[in-house]
Structure 1
Amino acid sequence: MTPPPDGGWVLGADSGGSGLRVALAAVREPAAEGGGVRVVDCVEFGEPVRTGAGGIDAAHLLERLLPAAEGLLGRAGGGRLAAVAVGAAGMATLGDELRATLPEALRRSLGVGRLALAADAVTAYAGALGQRPGAVVAAGTGLIALGTDLSGWRRADGWGHLLGDCGSGAWIGRAGLEAAMRAHDGRRGGSAALLARVEALFGPPATLPGLLYPRADRPAVLASFAPEVARCHADGDPVSAGILAAAARHIAEAAAAVCPPGHDEPEVALTGGLFKMGDPLLVPLRAELAEHLPSARTVPAAGDPLDGAVAVAAALATGTLLLPREPGMLDTTTLQPTDRA
């Protein structure tokens, strides 16, 4: 059993396309010896929170978040949550129901004192760079770049697989599938290597539209082909190499668009599953970043979006939150206490 910390308990939640993760952390006041935040327990849900006509489904999120929080607090010995931070994909455009519902629900059920609702790009930024000025590119199935000088947010892309997410896993996968279909048709720009991978994974190429277009999870299906592009590049396929070089250019352009001006050596961090692709993407990306941001320092991401949600909650609890509050990006609320022990 863990005794309640002097700064209280905080809860961070990361709601994304692959599921929901919730972490309980112990906070020590900044002035205290060993001040900081330490995650003590977490739970994961493999299915993502639903999104409907009204945006992110607040009831579905609460069905998971409240029991998870109760269980985490119970295992830790009880106590009150000083702050909660929820980072959610789609918060900026689909988060109205969450912003209307969560504050009162968390106050009433958990006695939460302070609440932050953030776009997942903000928690990705906080996990990667903390509360320092800089730029972060978060890339997986989709892609968004976010930068700040701590006075406001600068955003590039994150517009989804139909309007943007250029350089993302879905973008790379779609480009690879297009190159395969060009080879199938005998058009210029096709790749026989990628066509062979399509046939191995999906069957006859002519059936691919029927397999892909009706799917509600089209971005994830597209992104599932991105590793095949990297494999074909490693085997010497020039078309695949060109796709990854173009993706690297898009990523560097997004980073350059959000990098805060007026900093001699701005920090740029890359976070998300796409960058696990390794050298086939990272080698051309380093070259593109050197061209687009010659004075920037590329630094390793310190943590992931769940780490960022915990860090935002801890900063909110201790009055040390420096990241800019901005509607739809990072909204914070102080709640009236309840009698909950």
Structure 2
Amino acid sequence: MSPAADGAADGADRAADDAGGWLLGVDSGGSGLRVALARQRTGAGAAAERTDGAGAAGPSGRPEVVGAVTCPEPVRTSEAGIDAGHMAAQLVPAVRSLLADAGAGAEEGGAARIAAACVGAAGMATLGRGLRAELPGMLAEAFGVRRLALAADAVTAYAGALGERPGAVVAAGTGMIAMGTDLESWRRADGWGHLLGDCGSGAWIGRAGLEAAMRAFDGRAGGSAALRARAEAMFGAPLSVLPGQLYPRTDRAAVLASFAPEVARCAGEDPVAAGIMRAAAREMAASALAVCPGGGAVPRSGDGSAGTVGEDVRVAFTGGLFNLGEALHGPLRAALTEQLPGARVVEAAGGPLDGALLIAARLAVGGLALPSDPALLSVA
């Protein structure tokens, strides 16, 4: 367990808000388990959390984090699903450490209690049955958690980016998923993994770049000498050894995604690499359109055109893939202009851990506006 952010805020800084309970946010994914503790606000502070003036929790009302840690070991998964015991074995000590650093026990004269928590986890939608059955009891016993939300990481990414507003969020890293809501139900596009989807993701870009490198190695049309040179430098020459290096690995998606930055670096000079980045941007825009309230890929008129998206619909993009810079941002702007001309593209206000804390804060005051869903967002 290693520190990811600094500990407690000074009590004088919170004097304007009456002390409430504690809020817990968790983000579980391939890079480990991230845990954040925040203080529940009452009075004026709670009012700021509840609304941004438009009836939805917005960036200005996000909870005040008092400490955060990262447990670098990813939570185990198997055919049986996400391992609740393995998550609890890391989560419980991490939370106890955060509470101790925040002086929670000393302030409250005993064991601190957590008013509300949200756990966002990769694979929750398909592998979360056991976690939903076991984790609530574990956290209730350890910390007296009264309200617990269990969410797909795409939902916490949505909440972190847009809060509780209608809109669409594309989360892209090694994989890619789009989530949208009208606050009545969720719409999902892609997120099907590197073999069946994740179109436009880091793995998708990397695989396309390596295919172009292999084409150049073979002398086939559509190859890129620039990408071949990058691949040989990264994986070793000749490229004929690459299949033997790649196919037996269990982390194939991550290995493919590791080549995406090389594709982006070549895009300014190599037309094949530039074409891959444009195609990735079109895939992202198409997924955003598919989940936008009022949008979607289904034709809305006899001429086969896609549905329009209202100007009040916000669209945000979040995730590590967007660190690729202008090689991706430029084509994405063009794709959005073409496919979602009416949408309001906004900067993501925060990430999945921020979203988990926001959901916990809303649970604590009994006013979560995001729609519940048995697989995507359930409240215990």
TM-score, normalised relative to structure 1: 0.94
Superposed CA RMSD in Å reads 1.5
Is 1:310 aligned with 2:343? Answer: no
Letter in 2 for 1:246: A
Is 1:52 aligned with 2:78? Answer: yes
Matched with 1:324 is: 371
Is 1:217 aligned with 2:243? Answer: no
Letter in 2 for 1:67: P
Q: Offset at 1:264?
A: 3.8
Q: Structure 2 CA distance, aligned partners of 1:140 and 1:263? A: 27
Q: Structure 2 CA distance, aligned partners of 1:250 and 1:34? A: 39
Is 1:295 aligned with 2:322? Answer: no
Could you list the per-position Cα deviations for residues 303-325 of structure 1 after superposition, in whole angstroms to 9, with x for gaps in the alignment?
00000001011110111210000
* 8 Å Cα contact 1:7/1:318 also seen in 2: no
Change (3 A) 1:30 1:238: farther
Letter in 1 for 2:95: A
Report SS of the residue matched to 1:8: strand
Letter in 2 for 1:228: E
* 8 Å Cα contact 2:227/2:266 also seen in 1: yes
Could you list the per-position Cα deviations for residues 277-317 of structure 1 after superposition, in whole angstroms to 9, with x for gaps in the alignment?
11111101111111111100110000000000010111101
Q: 309-318 or 73-82, which moves further after superposition? A: 73-82
Report SS of the residue matched to 1:275: helix
Q: Structure 2 CA distance, aligned partners of 1:73 and 1:46? A: 20
Report SS of the residue matched to 1:166: coil
* 8 Å Cα contact 1:11/1:23 also seen in 2: yes
* 8 Å Cα contact 2:212/2:224 also seen in 1: yes
Q: 23-32 or 213-222, which moves further after superposition? A: 23-32
Report SS of the residue matched to 2:288: helix
Is 1:251 aligned with 2:284? Answer: yes
Alignment partner of 2:162 out of 129, 135, 159: 129
Change (3 A) 1:239 1:72: same
* 8 Å Cα contact 1:145/1:156 also seen in 2: yes
Alignment of 1:174-213 (within 5 A): 174-203=207-236, 204-213=238-247
Matched with 1:13 is: 26
* 8 Å Cα contact 2:278/2:331 also seen in 1: yes
Is 1:111 aligned with 2:144? Answer: yes
Q: 241-250 or 77-86, which moves further after superposition? A: 77-86
Is 1:267 aligned with 2:314? Answer: yes
Is 1:23 aligned with 2:57? Answer: no
Task: Give unmatched runs, 5+ long, in structure 1.
Answer: 334-341
Q: Any runs of at least 4 consecutive aligned residues in structure 1 with deviations exceeding 6 A, and if so which?
A: 1-4
Could you list the per-position Cα deviations for residues 110-157 of structure 1 after superposition, in whole angstroms to 9, with x for gaps in the alignment?
111110000000000000000011000000000000000100000000
Q: Structure 1 CA distance, aligned partners of 2:213 and 2:32? A: 31
Q: 110-119 or 29-38, which moves further after superposition? A: 29-38
Q: Structure 2 CA distance, aligned partners of 1:30 and 1:144? A: 37
- Report the number of matched residues: 332
Letter in 2 for 1:25: A
* 8 Å Cα contact 1:55/1:95 also seen in 2: yes
Matched with 1:232 is: 266
Q: Structure 2 CA distance, aligned partners of 1:27 and 1:176? A: 47
Q: 65-74 or 122-131, which moves further after superposition? A: 65-74
Q: Offset at 1:76?
A: 1.2
Q: Offset at 1:194?
A: 0.6
Q: Offset at 1:33?
A: 7.4
Letter in 1 for 2:81: G
Q: Offset at 1:6?
A: 3.0
Matched with 1:70 is: 96
Matched with 1:42 is: 68
Q: Offset at 1:263?
A: 3.8
Q: Offset at 1:87?
A: 0.3
Could you list the per-position Cα deviations for residues 149-208 of structure 1 after superposition, in whole angstroms to 9, with x for gaps in the alignment?
100000000000000000000000000000000000111100000111111111120110
Matched residues, percent identical? Answer: 65
Q: Offset at 1:44?
A: 0.4
Change (3 A) 1:34 1:76: farther
Q: Offset at 1:20?
A: 1.0
Alignment partner of 1:158 out of 191, 196, 200: 191
* 8 Å Cα contact 1:56/1:95 also seen in 2: yes
Q: Structure 2 CA distance, aligned partners of 1:193 and 1:29? A: 58
Report SS of the residue matched to 2:118: strand
Q: Structure 2 CA distance, aligned partners of 1:243 and 1:57? A: 37
Could you list the per-position Cα deviations for residues 57-79 of structure 1 after superposition, in whole angstroms to 9, with x for gaps in the alignment?
11111111011111111111222
Change (3 A) 1:231 1:93: same
Change (3 A) 1:199 1:264: closer
